[in-house]
């Protein structure tokens, strides 16, 4: 049984794909970039060193999904087609 996580649905999955939405899931553990301890993907801080790990989790999810977009149509808070409009 795999221990994966779907960032889209925010649920644990037992396979390569989410049982709820069908999108690719990612491994539910990530290494802390500061101390190397394995941390659950749903954590905000490392339980070993106490440092924030949100950025490491974002990179882990992108790498696990092969760099595919989440399907929300946004990138860094800017909707597609709005790049030159100055609106966010």
Count other C-beta atoms under 10 Å from residue 18's C-beta.
Answer: 21
Beta strand pairing call for 11-13 and 78-79: unpaired
pLDDT in tens, 5-36: 998 998 989 889 999 999 999 999 989 999 99
Tokens 């490491």 belong to residue:
56
> What is the pTM assigned to this prediction?
0.57
pLDDT category at 1 given cuts 50, 70, 90 is low
């Amino acid at each position: 049984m795999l221990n994966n996580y779907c960032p889209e649905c925010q649920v644990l999955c037992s396979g390569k794909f989410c049982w709820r939405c069908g999108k690719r899931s990612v491994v539910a553990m990530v290494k802390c970039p500061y101390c190397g301890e394995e941390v659950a993907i749903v954590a905000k801080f490392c339980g070993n060193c106490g440092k924030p790990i949100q950025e490491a989790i974002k990179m882990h999810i992108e790498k696990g999904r092969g760099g595919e977009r989440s399907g929300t149509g946004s990138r860094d808070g800017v909707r597609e087609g709005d790049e030159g409009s100055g609106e966010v």
